[in-house]
Amino acid sequence: MSRFWLRILPQFLFVGGATLLIWAAFGAADAFIFLSLSGLTPFFLMLRNLARIDVWLDAPTVESVPDGSGLWEGVFSRLRRMVRQRDQRQQKLETMLRDLQQAIAALPDAIIILDAGDHIEWCNPMAQEYFGLDERRDMGQQISYLIRQPQFVEYLSEPQSDQPCILKLSSDSILSVQLIPYADRKKLLLARDITRIENVDRMRRDFVANVSHELRTPLTVVNGFLETLSDMGDAPDAEMLKRSLALMTGQTDRMKRLVEDLLTLSKLENAENHLSEEEVNVPLLVAQIHQDALSLSGKNHQIELRIETDAGLRGNTEELRSGFGNLVSNAVRYTPEGGRIALTWKMEHGCAVFAVEDSGIGIESEHIPRLTERFYRVDRSRSRGTGGTGLGLAIVKHVLNRHQGRFEISSEIGKGSLFRAVFPSSRVVSAMPETK
Ligand SMILES: Nc1ncnc2c1ncn2[C@@H]1O[C@H](COP(=O)(O)OP(=O)(O)O)[C@@H](O)[C@H]1O
Ligand SMILES: [Mg+2]
């Protein structure tokens, strides 16, 4: 017998026994009246509690569970416990769901959940940003109405989970989009911004192509001379031989310069190659570079040296020599004979500045932002003709970065250029000893 029946059994027995006693003592009519009255009280109690439950069900909270007595008390307290447990479970689930949504929202990747018919069920803020989706307007929309690129529509109809689809957005960003099927024909769309990776990859390809091209030209020339010389047999023309050897040496020098610049650049770019620091006597260094410039110019330019401070730098002498030297050799090479060049070392608002100003050919403003790219030249043949490798300013930029320096370029076509290397005060060493 269940617990419920066991609990009401004494009441039944009491009412049954009392009815029998009344019947025996007062007759059947009185017994019937007693039995009816005993049954009516719990019946009305039940109706009253049913009505209270009916009202409670409209807003079922723990606090509003009705109170009852007797058997009803047990029922109501179990109801109260059930509702409390349900509330706690729901709160826990809500917290978990909120945490999960916050975690997904914080992901750097875009996530869209699609139903079996490719309608959007949910998306995170990154997806809204990448694809211009609106959280309210676009929910339930077919994804192919919103992302219309043909390659995406094709990918959607035949997704390959191991092969992402690459999409180029109007903002010039490149996205890698992947569809992952799950549950019952649902799909998870993941999109990741790979603009940077793609650009690095393109730069690497361009770089290899550029180096090959730069090396092939002098090699072809040398090869041509060698073939001509071997065609001449045992008795080559002495004058011709002398001229060919001189030209070949010029070409191999060019290759050597290129390889040296490439090695310098690779050393500077290698993050593991830490800057070895010392106190650099910049006034002395700049004076030596001035001498180099005079011999490179061969008295064809008027080259002025302005050392306005005896401050030095905490840094690497050889790297600074290479960086400053490149700026000065450019000034000599891109300034026609008779032009003026000035090398300045000075302090400016607590920063140390090395400036090279020339009255040379100048650079059009559209080229200036790209000058520090590897192999970027305004005039290829002029650069090559004067022994340029196209890597000089890339080297300068790296050297300055390694010294937390800023590179400033200003120029006017036909008037001249000003290249400035600005070093922060944290790099400045106040006064250098007389000689070093
Ligand atoms: N002082 C300057 N005057 C005019 N153009 C310059 C000057 N310095 C650099 N340039 C331009 O910047 C380009 C890149 O310079 P750089 O990287 O040093 O390579 P390059 O080996 O050609 O000198 C040069 O090819 C030239 O077009
Ligand atoms: Mg150069």
CATH number at residue 175: 3.30.450.20
Q: Cβ distance 45 to 67 under 8 Å?
A: no
Last residue of a domain, one of 75, 101, 127: 101
Element at 106 (helix H, strand E): helix 71-106
Instruction: Inform me whether the pLDDT recorded for 241 exceeds 90.
Output: no
Instruction: Inform me whether the pLDDT recorded for 430 exceeds 90.
Output: no
Using CA positions, which residue lies closest to atom 27 of ligand 1?
Answer: 378
CATH of the domain at 334: 3.30.565.10
For the CA of 419, the nearest atom of ligand 1 = 1
Residue 219: domain span: 213-269
List, for residues 198-221, the tens digit of each pLDDT value. 999 998 999 999 999 999 989 999
Ligand nearest to the CA of 375: 1
Same domain, 306 and 413: yes
Looking at residue 382, its pLDDT comes to 84
Q: How far is the CA of 392 from the centre of ligand 2 (A)?
A: 4
Element at 268 (helix H, strand E): helix 238-269
Is residue 285 situated within a structural domain? Answer: yes
Confidence of residue 436 (pLDDT cuts 50, 70, 90): very low
Measured N-to-C along each axis, helices 238-269 and 392-402 cross at an angle, to the nearest 10 degrees, of: 30
Instruction: Inform me whether the pLDDT recorded for 435 exceeds 60.
Output: no
Looking at residue 356, its pLDDT comes to 98
List, for residues 325-371, the tens digit of each pLDDT value. 999 999 999 999 999 999 999 999 999 999 999 999 999 999 999 99
Same domain, 181 and 220: no
DSSP state of 142: B
Same domain, 423 and 326: yes
DSSP string, 187-233: EEEEEEE-HHHHHHHHHHHHHHHHHHHHHHHHHHHHHHHHHHHHHTT
| Bridge pairing between strands 340-348 and 174-182 | unpaired
Q: Cβ distance 416 to 392 under 8 Å?
A: no
Is residue 436 situated within a structural domain? Answer: no
Task: Express the helix, strand and coil content of the chain in percent, nearest 5 each.
Answer: 55, 20, 30
Ligand nearest to the CA of 418: 1
Same domain, 309 and 415: yes
Same domain, 97 and 179: no
Distance CA 429, CA 436 (A): 14
% pLDDT > 70, the chain: 98
Q: How far is the CA of 396 from the centre of ligand 2 (A)?
A: 9
Is residue 222 situated within a structural domain? Answer: yes
pTM comes to 0.68
Confidence of residue 107 (pLDDT cuts 50, 70, 90): confident
For the CA of 384, the nearest atom of ligand 1 = 22
Using CA positions, which residue lies closest to atom 18 of ligand 1?
Answer: 392
Using CA positions, which residue lies closest to atom 25 of ligand 1?
Answer: 377
CATH of the domain at 233: 1.10.287
List, for residues 249-286, the tens digit of each pLDDT value. 999 999 999 999 999 999 998 878 888 899 999 999 99
List, for residues 154-199, the tens digit of each pLDDT value. 999 887 767 889 998 888 889 999 999 888 889 999 999 999 999 9
For the CA of 383, the nearest atom of ligand 1 = 22
Q: How many residues does the chain have?
A: 436
Same domain, 306 and 424: yes
DSSP string, 159-178: --TTSPEEEE-TTS-EEEEE
Same domain, 183 and 241: no
Left if phi > 0, otherwise alpha if psi is -120 to 50, otherwise beta: which for 61?
beta
Looking at residue 434, its pLDDT comes to 56
Is residue 206 situated within a structural domain? Answer: no
For the CA of 376, the nearest atom of ligand 1 = 14
Distance CA 244, CA 238 (A): 10
Looking at residue 104, its pLDDT comes to 86
Element at 257 (helix H, strand E): helix 238-269
Q: How far is the CA of 269 from the centre of ligand 2 (A)?
A: 18
Ligand nearest to the CA of 393: 1
Using CA positions, which residue lies closest to atom 1 of ligand 1?
Answer: 331
Mean pLDDT (the chain) is: 91
Q: How far is the CA of 321 from the centre of ligand 1 (A)?
A: 17
Same domain, 129 and 265: no
Of 210, 335, 357, 363, the residue with max ligand 1 atoms within 8 A of its CB, to mutate for a pocket test, comes to 363
Tokens of residue 405, six digits: 């320096």
For the CA of 387, the nearest atom of ligand 1 = 21
Using CA positions, which residue lies closest to atom 19 of ligand 1?
Answer: 390
Burial label for 261, CB within 10 Å (0-12, 13-18, 19+), is buried
Task: Provide the domain count of the chain.
Answer: 4
Q: How far is the CA of 323 from the centre of ligand 2 (A)?
A: 10
H and E: helices and strands count for the chain? 12, 13
For the CA of 329, the nearest atom of ligand 1 = 23
Distance CA 25, CA 108 (A): 90
Q: Cβ distance 66 to 73 under 8 Å?
A: no
Instruction: Inform me whether the pLDDT recorded for 89 exceeds 80.
Output: yes
Of 332, 383, 408, the residue with max ligand 1 atoms within 8 A of its CB, to mutate for a pocket test, comes to 383
Tokens of residue 42, six digits: 């719990």
Same domain, 247 and 284: no
Q: Report, as an integer, the average pLDDT of 12-25.
A: 93
- Cβ count within 10 A of residue 85: 11
Is residue 199 situated within a structural domain? Answer: no
Q: List ligand 1's pocket residues with C-beta within 6 A.
A: 326, 330-331, 334, 358, 360-361, 363, 371, 376-379, 383, 388-394, 417
Same domain, 97 and 139: no
Distance CA 272, CA 387 (A): 31
Looking at residue 98, its pLDDT comes to 92
Looking at residue 111, its pLDDT comes to 93
Residue showing tokens 């009916």: 54
Measured N-to-C along each axis, helices 238-269 and 195-231 cross at an angle, to the nearest 10 degrees, of: 160
Of 259, 296, 327, 334, the residue with max ligand 1 atoms within 8 A of its CB, to mutate for a pocket test, comes to 334
- The residue that leads in pLDDT, 426 or 436, is 426
Looking at residue 432, its pLDDT comes to 66
- φ, ψ of residue 81 to 5 degrees: the values are -65, -40
Tokens of residue 339, six digits: 């032009």
For 386, how many CA atoms within 13 A lie in the half-sphere containing its CB? 18
Nearest to 252 by CA among 197, 215, 306, 299: 215
Same domain, 85 and 124: no
Distance CA 391, CA 251 (A): 17
Give how far the C-alpha of residue 217 lies from the chain's centroid of Cα atoms, to the nearest Å: 38
CA angle 43, 49, 52 (to 5 degrees): 150
Q: How far is the CA of 170 from the centre of ligand 1 (A)?
A: 34
Looking at residue 238, its pLDDT comes to 83
Q: How far is the CA of 244 from the centre of ligand 2 (A)?
A: 27
Q: How far is the CA of 318 from the centre of ligand 1 (A)?
A: 21
Distance CA 83, CA 23 (A): 47
DSSP state of 294: H
Using CA positions, which residue lies closest to atom 10 of ligand 1?
Answer: 330
Is residue 205 situated within a structural domain? Answer: no
Is residue 163 situated within a structural domain? Answer: yes
Read off the amino acid at residue 73: E
Ligand nearest to the CA of 257: 1
Using CA positions, which residue lies closest to atom 9 of ligand 1?
Answer: 330
Same domain, 372 and 390: yes
- The residue that leads in pLDDT, 91 or 239, is 91
Q: Cβ distance 308 to 269 under 8 Å?
A: no
DSSP state of 144: H
Is residue 94 situated within a structural domain? Answer: yes
